[in-house]
Amino acid sequence: MLKVLMLPRDTNTRELRQALWAHRIGHRFTENEEGYTLWLADPAQLDALNELLERWRRGEPLMPSGHAPRATFNASPLLRPFALAPVTASLLAACLMVFGLMWLLGDIVVAMLTIVPVAVAGGSLSLGSLADTLSSGQVWRFFSPALLHFGWMHLTFNLLWLWYFGRQIEALRGGKLMLVLTIASAIVGNLAQYATGTVLFGGMSGVVYALLGYVWLMSRLAPSSGFFVPQMLVVFMLGWMVFTMTEMAGMVGFGNVANEAHLGGLVVGLALGWYDARRARRA
């Protein structure tokens, strides 16, 4: 990362941040006691960044031609995320809604969203199969376990990472890619987890690892794409995935983790990231 400039704490950087994303200039703002520091991901974009900064200082329009700025300034705080990143915000809302319904209605919600039909018969749990899911037309079950979260910590961390990576992908590649990544990684991750013989699992973690894989590979193979993720964050998240695969994780209270879903999602994200990076380099 290249340090570009410092800005006072009272500087309104919202318009500049939006313009940097719109121009696909990979960057990061950090904050300290003195103010904001702007960092550039790819030094090759320094000239483009300096030109944009000069226009910003002169008060000139910053958005590229044909790019309509999203109406976020007058939106209410609750609606603003839907203007910034509609697909990501919708996923967050869906997870929160399902979590609330689980708290209100209990296991009936879980039974509706597991990868295969689940029922209680004669005091015991009756589990269906993928064939039952297909034959009954309940194809949403291939995706829906991603919406299940079994605790506040599980929900909070998944949604934080989902917003962190998702809004970056929507800003630089659009909502369609975000939707493809989400659906593909959720289905592949869920099937990978089911293949281990597990039925009662859930969470957006597989999708989060797909987004991590995509953003990281794009930042490495196609830095001009504007994607950025701190290297220490990559190390932490991959290290956490490996840690939860060990027996030690269960000993300290982090057992029953859907490791195969994480790995399946990561593979999907890396595959799509590699494909898009190749296309970006050829363009």
Enumerate the active-site residues: 205, 262
- Residue 275: which residues within 8 A CB-CB, separation 6 or more? none
- Kindly give, in sequence order, each residue whose CB lies less than 8 Å from that of residue 65, ignoring residues fewer than 6 positions away: none
CA distance 134 to 129: 9
Indicate the residue type of 117. P
Cβ neighbors of 165 (< 8 A, separation 6 or more) are: 208, 211, 212, 214, 215, 229
DSSP codes of every residue in 246-282: SHHHHHTT--S--HHHHHHHHHHHHHHHHHHHHHHHH
Nearest to 190 by CA among 135, 275, 98, 259: 259
CB-CB contact of 179 with 210 (8 Å)? no
Partnered with residue 121 across adjacent β-strands are 124
Give SS3 for 39: strand
State the DSSP string of 156-214. Answer: HHHHHHHHHHHHHHHHHH-HHHHHHHHHHHHHHHHHHHHTTT--S---SHHHHHHHHHH
Residue 34: DSSP 8-state: S
Residues paired with 69 in a beta bridge? none
